Amino acid sequence: MSDLRLVIFDVDGTLVDSQAEILAAMTHAFAAEGRAMPDRSDVLSIVGLSLDVAFARLCPDSDQAVQARLVEGYKDAFSTQRAQNADHGPLYPGARAVLDALAAQDNTLLAVATGKSRRGLDKLLERHALEGFFHSEQVADHHPSKPNPSMILTAMNELGVVQNRAVMVGDTTYDMDMARAAGVAKIGVGWGYHAADLLMPDILIHEFGALPGAVDELAGH
């Protein structure tokens, strides 16, 4: 049996603090449709879902055409913001050092599982000089929305890693439910967009420096 282990990261709210960008892009999208912006808490509650599912939850009274326009308006606004302001969406403190440390371990593979599009993830990875850093990159273009386990199962299959050697790291209940459905361990982070007491992870961490130890405990050395 392979001794490889796999650490799968959510992106927004876990690796990257994109809250300001998300809220600004949402404001633009709703304004373009002449609609009132939802409450901040409602917007943050859907972070992590694929955009079509997210807007369907935010606007259950709207038809699919309106929801589709909101999706495109959001994507355009988000891309424009990132092109204009290189300081938006910073990595959380300690993230880069921990990623580097995990990547330096011969038996540890890294992956992302995100509700972002392929285009959105590519731009983010380029911004933070993380191109080629992850061995598997699972995006919303090719999978059902979280918490469907498709992203995790595909990453494990691509890399030949078994369930008890894989762990999901995320900040939302969608990440935890996805991991549970895939049969892998769950590490919740306390700095993201869902309340920590809702996550029900195997281990909850409050700083990035605690991640390597949590991975060792859940996925072995």
| The token pair that represents 72 in the structure block | 């495109």
Closest of 209, 144, 202 to residue 176, by C-alpha: 202
Active site includes 17?
Answer: no
Q: Which residues lie below 8 Å from residue 163, measured CB to CB, with a gap of 6+? A: 156, 182, 183, 184
Active site includes 141?
Answer: no
- Rounded CA gap, 212 and 221, in Å? 10
Q: One of 10, 17, 171, 177 is an active-site residue; which one?
A: 10
Q: One of 12, 171, 175, 177 is an active-site residue; which one?
A: 12
| The token pair that represents 40 in the structure block | 């901040």
Terminal CA-to-CA distance of the chain, rounded, Å? 14
- Rounded CA gap, 74 and 175, in Å? 22
| The token pair that represents 106 in the structure block | 């011969």
Q: What residues act catalytically?
A: 10, 12
